[in-house]
Structures are given as C-alpha cells and as structure tokens.
Amino acid sequence: MKNPTTNPTQTIKTPLAVKSARKEPFLIFESVSKAFPTPKGPYVVLEDVNLKIHEGEFICVIGHSGCGKSTLLNMVSGFSRPTTGEVRLRTHPIVKPGPDRMVVFQNYALLPWLTAFENIYLAVDSVHPEKSEAEKREIVQHNLGMVGLLEAANKKPQQLSGGMKQRISIARALSIRPEVLILDEPFGALDAITKEELQEELLSIWNEYRMTVLMITHDIDEALFLADRLVMMTNGPRANIGEILNIPFPRPRDRTRIMEDPEYYNLRNYALDYLFRRFAHDDE
Ligand SMILES: Nc1ncnc2c1ncn2[C@@H]1O[C@H](COP(=O)(O)OP(=O)(O)OP(=O)(O)O)[C@@H](O)[C@H]1O
C-alpha cells in the first residue's frame, strides 16, 4: 500500500470547513464515554470522544466492526445516553429521540403491513397531527417524488427492491424535515450500481436542504464522494476518534472528476493505511 507523503488531516482546508469555522458548532460531543454493563463488569465502548460538527456539514464515520460507531450515533438520535459527558444540539443536551433527528437504518425498518405511502404518512402524522389530511398527503407525495418513487406509493415493502425500500426510508426520514439526518450504513446491503445511484440522490437532496448529516459507512470511496469530513475511529474497547480527514472536493461533486483528481488517491491511501495498517483489526 502506498504511503502518502503528506498528512491530509493537517494540510487540507476545505472552503466549507474554513467557512464553518466562523460559525458556532451545532452538534457537540463533549468528553463522551459510553460503557455497557456486562456480567464481568462495565464494558467501555467509547472513551472521551470530543467532536464539534457545524450546521449543514456532511460527516461520515468509519472504523472497524464493533468499535462503537452505532453507539456513537445512537447518542445523537437519543436512543442511548452517554455514561459520562454530553451530546448537545446547539445548547441543549440530547436526552431522548425527537423529530429534529431522524435515523435511516441499513435494514430499512419499514412496517411491512403498510404501503410505501402509508409508511411515510405515519411518520408525518405522528409529528404533525395538527396538519390537515390534505397537507399530510401533499408532504408524502412531495417526498416520494423527491426519491423518484411516486409510482411505488401503493406498494408494500415486500414488493419493492432493496434500493426502493431504502429510498422510501430516506423519504420517510426527510418528510418531517429533521435538522440532523443519521444514516447507519444505509447503502451497505445494496448492489454497487444501486448504491451509486442512491449516493447521487442523497447528495442532491442534501445540496437542496443542507441538513446536517451523520453517516456510518465501511466504504472509503463512498465517504470521499459524500463527506465534508471523514471521522476515523480507533479500535475498541475504549474507542475514540483517531483522526479526521477533511475532504476538499468542490461541490456539487462529480464522481468522475473526483476520481481523476490525484488528491482522491492520496486521501484514499491515507484512509486505507489508517484502517488496515495503523489500526488494523485482528478479526478482518
Ligand atoms: N446494549 C449493549 N450491551 C452490551 N454491549 C453492547 C451493547 N450495544 C453495543 N454493545 C457492544 O459495543 C460494541 C460497539 O458496538 P457498535 O454496534 O456501536 O459497533 P459498530 O462500530 O457500529 O459495529 P458495526 O460496524 O459492526 O455495526 C460492540 O462490542 C457491541 O457488542
């Protein structure tokens, strides 16, 4: 594996990172540790994680299996709370789930007895019971259109392909306009072509709405195409953030142009070296 001569974590300043450096942090992890009780005593998954994310940033998180990526994001969604430390959205500690933070899972998590339309409608209705039925239906239609699936509105999940199901779960998450979109390896189960299509769609939706995105991935190329910053975790237990790569490619991004850029391979090799040499994992 080629060793890059420069350290991208130190040398690259993206225009967005420079711009956002002037803004107040939006999502903050402050001295966050998380331990799970086990019969042998507490199992410390994460220890003293500190991270500041700016509004509208697209953050990817990478790290070996079991290092605590989902644990980290679960503290943003509010499914779980830090053992010590704090996760804050603006100035408010996150203590429970809320419609300002929506999660998309790898396994879609759609209700199988409802149609695509009804799955999204249920989310809109639970967050906006005050809206009229016509307004709620309009929101569902708009979001189905946004992921190009108006024709699948009346289909149930088992009648949809993996890519279509993931589009529906993204539409459902976006239908209530969260401030933070949390994606837990959303494209991990999809074939390569569908995965690329969904990456493009996600980027174009993000370009339009600029919600803050936190996404777990195992795919370095995916992270380099999507993210402003790539957070690289150390191995657990007691995992932490090892390094953060700034991804400098201008937006809107063009996959072909990025892949022709020598910097792409510099960053890719740097991340590969980090994961498979410096933080190599015995099990992989
Ligand atoms: N509720 C829990 N109780 C005990 N241990 C847990 C619990 N949740 C997670 N763990 C452990 O914490 C560690 C981190 O799990 P987590 O799912 O966050 O890792 P991950 O990096 O997301 O892994 P993967 O990439 O395989 O999804 C694992 O060893 C897991 O077994």
Ligand 1 centroid to Cα of residue 187, in Å, is 19
From the CA of 168, how far away is ligand 1's center (Å)?
A: 26
Q: Which atom of ligand 1 is nearest to the CA of 73?
A: 18
The residue whose CA has the least distance to atom 17 of ligand 1 is 70
- Ligand 1: which residue has its CA nearest to atom 10? 36
Per residue in 228-258, pLDDT tens?
999 999 998 999 999 999 999 999 999 999 9
* pLDDT tens per residue, range 12-71: 444 444 444 457 899 999 999 999 999 999 999 999 999 999 999 999 999 999 999 999
| 32: nearest Cα among 20, 23, 44, 21 | 44
Task: Identify the band that residue 162 occupies on the pLDDT scale cut at 50, 70 and 90.
Answer: very high
Give me the pLDDT at residue 107, please: 86
**Atom in ligand 1 nearest the alpha carbon of residue 80:** 1
Picking from 209, 215, 137, 205, the residue whose alpha carbon sits closest to that of residue 167 is 205
Which tokens hold the place of 83?
């053992």
Cis peptide before 237 (omega within 30 of 0): yes
Q: Which residues line ligand 1 at a C-beta cut-off of 6 Å?
A: 36, 43, 45, 63, 65-71, 236
Q: What is the pLDDT of residue 3?
A: 38
Average pLDDT, the chain: 91
Whether ipTM tops 0.90, in short, is yes
Cα 68 from Cα 153, distance rounded (Å): 36
Of ligand 1's atoms, which has the minimum distance to the CA of residue 233? 21
| Atom 28 in ligand 1: residue holding the nearest Cα | 66
Protein residue with its CA nearest to atom 26 in ligand 1: 65
Q: What pLDDT is attached to residue 84?
A: 98
What is residue 14's predicted lDDT score, i.e. its pLDDT? Answer: 44
pLDDT at 8 over 90: no
Q: Is the pLDDT of residue 223 over 50?
A: yes
**pLDDT over 60 at 175, yes or no:** yes
Residues 6+ apart with CB under 8 A from 279: 63, 64, 232, 234, 235, 242
Ligand 1 mean position, distance from CA 227 (Å): 24
Neighbours of 250 (CB within 10 A): 11
Class of the domain covering 1-96+212-279? alpha beta
